[in-house]
């Protein structure tokens, strides 16, 4: 199998990564907590022993100073307590073991090791010298070892328990996502009408499902628009091809029934129509790819006045008195094409005259074309901007309209950050408006 055909290795699942991260955090937290508990227990027990020794030491010191306890009576009272009186002449009591006990230099207790065993030591000065009392910390060490053993069992069990809970909870939380993945993966071009079921709880997973459904709706609408576009384009291109073929067959079958050059006229006329359709399709394809050409300063008023002159040169009436300065930034060729499409559309529907105007208002530059025709019904004002849509099929086809002109206008406007729409004209017909962001920098 070629490398390109091999499936990509699957990474760790989100469930596994979340569980591992949770376990790592819990393990660190519990480990540090266990160490803190053991250390705190050791310090707490040590402080308790030191407090008890301090009380005993105070009683001994009071007795020695008051003379109620003779120095010779200072004896070892049990196996884990050492008592000594240190003076300038040396140790008085327990000389065999207490000589190894260091004397704390301050009031704070001292921890020392005597013959391999840890002791807590306190001391206080009396008239005869310094009384030193030490107690073995074996009980403390036993308690700390017991706590350590218990924590060494409890911490791993807690980690396992937390890991199990996280694994189950994350699995249940991600189960709807996995079902969505399987459902979306099963949707192909023949089932774009299918949707992901949502629970209606409006949580993150439910919003994800709603987002997927909106995406599927857009994909379905785009696929439907492409199929409709291909069908319409095929129909539009088939019509001139059929006309040329029928006339050619008629001319070949009955050469005397057609005048010389008539076939050439038909071919040229239908070929020009096909050229316009193909050119419009290519332009729309470029606009669909967001290719708006080179952006340069453009004056919409100059383009409008040029169209007024063109209409007048065709022998039609055009009013340009409402044209005002309207600077924008964009592709002059595309903007001129869009405005010409609006003017040509107005000429096809106008009875006597068309009117052009432009203005800058609220940071937007607008240019419009009015006609005095029948107008556009309000319910159809959005539909006419769709591709291959004609409200008057026979007249538009006879006048050479391809049904792409207004679609190009809107796509050009949107490619420049603007829009196009229709409203009623003061002359009683339709007003087609092209709106664009006004140019703020003319440098």
Instruction: For residues 419 and 282, give the distance between their C-alpha atoms in angstroms, rounded to a whole number.
Output: 20
User: Is the pLDDT score of 302 beyond 70?
Assistant: yes
Distance, in Å, from the CA atom of 48 to the CA atom of 166, rounded to the nearest integer, reads: 41
What is the distance between the alpha carbons of residues 301 and 140, in angstroms, rounded to a whole number? Answer: 96
| Chain Cα centroid distance, residue 149 | 48
Q: In percent, how much of the chain has pLDDT > 70?
A: 83
**Interval 14-24 mean pLDDT:** 90
Distance spanning both ends of the chain, measured CA to CA: 60
* Residues 340-376 pLDDT 10s: 999 999 998 898 999 999 999 988 999 999 999 888 8
pLDDT for 324: 94
pLDDT of 433 reads 95
How far apart are alpha carbons 346 and 349 in whole angstroms?
5
Q: What is the pLDDT of residue 264?
A: 78
pLDDT at 97: 57
Interhelix angle 262-288/204-253, nearest 10 degrees: 170
Strands (E), 195-336: 296-299, 317-323, 327-330
pLDDT, residue 133, reads 80
pLDDT band at 148 (very low <50, low <70, confident <90, very high): very high
Contact 355, 422 (CB under 8 A): no
Over the stretch 113-129, which tens digit does the pLDDT of each residue have?
777 788 888 888 777 67
And the tokens for 384?
């006419």
DSSP tag of 78 = S
For the stretch 91-147, pLDDT in tens is 555 545 555 677 777 677 888 877 778 888 888 877 767 777 888 888 888 999 999
Residue 296 has pLDDT above 60, yes or no: yes
CA–CA separation, 60 vs 251, rounded Å?
140
Kindly state the average pLDDT of the residues 241-255: 79
Task: Look at residue 31 in the predicted model and tell me its pLDDT.
Answer: 93
| Cα–Cα dist 435/416, whole Å | 9
Picking from 84-93, 159-168, 290-299, 406-415, which range would have the lowest pLDDT averaged per residue?
84-93
For residue 212, the model assigns a pLDDT of: 87
Token couple for 392: 């008057």
Is residue 58's pLDDT more than 90? no
Whole-number mean pLDDT of the chain? 81
Mean pLDDT calculated for residue range 157-178: 90
**What's this model's pTM, rounded to 2 decimal places?**
0.52
* Residue 289 confidence class, pLDDT cut points 50, 70, 90: low
């Amino acid at each position: 199998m070629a490398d390109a055909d091999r499936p990509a290795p699957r990474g760790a699942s989100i469930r596994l990564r979340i569980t591992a991260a949770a376990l790592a955090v819990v393990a660190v937290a519990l480990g540090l907590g266990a160490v803190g508990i053991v250390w705190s227990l050791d310090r707490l027990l040590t402080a308790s022993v030191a407090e008890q020794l301090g009380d005993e030491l105070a009683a001994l010191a009071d007795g020695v100073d008051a003379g109620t306890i003779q120095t010779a009576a200072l004896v070892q009272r049990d196996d884990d307590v050492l008592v000594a009186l240190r003076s300038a002449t040396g140790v008085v009591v327990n000389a065999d073991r207490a000589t190894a006990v260091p004397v704390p230099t301050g009031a704070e207790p001292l921890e020392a090791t005597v013959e391999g065993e840890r002791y807590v030591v306190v001391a206080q000065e009396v008239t005869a010298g310094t009384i030193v009392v030490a107690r073995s910390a074996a009980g403390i060490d036993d308690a700390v070892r017991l706590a350590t053993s218990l924590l060494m069992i409890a911490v791993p069990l807690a980690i396992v328990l937390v890991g199990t809970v996280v694994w189950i909870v994350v699995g249940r939380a991600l189960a709807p996502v996995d079902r969505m993945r399987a459902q979306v993966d099963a949707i192909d071009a023949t089932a774009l009408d299918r949707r992901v079921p949502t629970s209606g709880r409006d949580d993150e997973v439910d919003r994800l499902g709603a987002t997927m459904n909106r995406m599927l709706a857009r994909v379905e609408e785009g696929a439907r628009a492409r199929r409709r576009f291909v069908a319409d384009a095929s129909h539009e291109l088939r019509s001139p091809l059929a006309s040329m073929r029928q006339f050619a067959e008629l001319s070949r079958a009955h050469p005397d029934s057609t005048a010389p050059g008539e076939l050439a006229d038909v071919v040229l006329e239908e070929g020009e129509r096909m050229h316009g359709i193909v050119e419009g399709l290519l332009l729309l394809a470029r606009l669909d790819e967001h290719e708006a050409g080179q952006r340069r300063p453009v004056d919409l008023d100059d383009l409008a006045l040029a169209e007024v002159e063109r209409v007048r040169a065709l022998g039609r009436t055009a009013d340009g008195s409402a044209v005002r300065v309207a600077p924008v930034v964009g592709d002059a060729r595309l903007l001129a094409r869009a405005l010409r499409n609006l003017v040509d559309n107005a000429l096809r529907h106008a009875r006597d005259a068309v009117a052009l105007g432009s203005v800058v208002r609220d940071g937007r530059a607008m240019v419009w074309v009015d006609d005095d025709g029948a107008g556009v019904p309000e319910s159809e004002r959005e539909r006419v901007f769709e591709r291959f849509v004609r409200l008057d099929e026979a007249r538009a086809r006879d006048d050479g309209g391809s049904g792409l002109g207004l679609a190009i206008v809107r796509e050009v406007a949107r490619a420049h950050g603007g829009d196009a729409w229709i409203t009623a004209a003061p002359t009683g017909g339709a007003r087609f408006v092209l709106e664009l962001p006004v140019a703020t920098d003319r440098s």
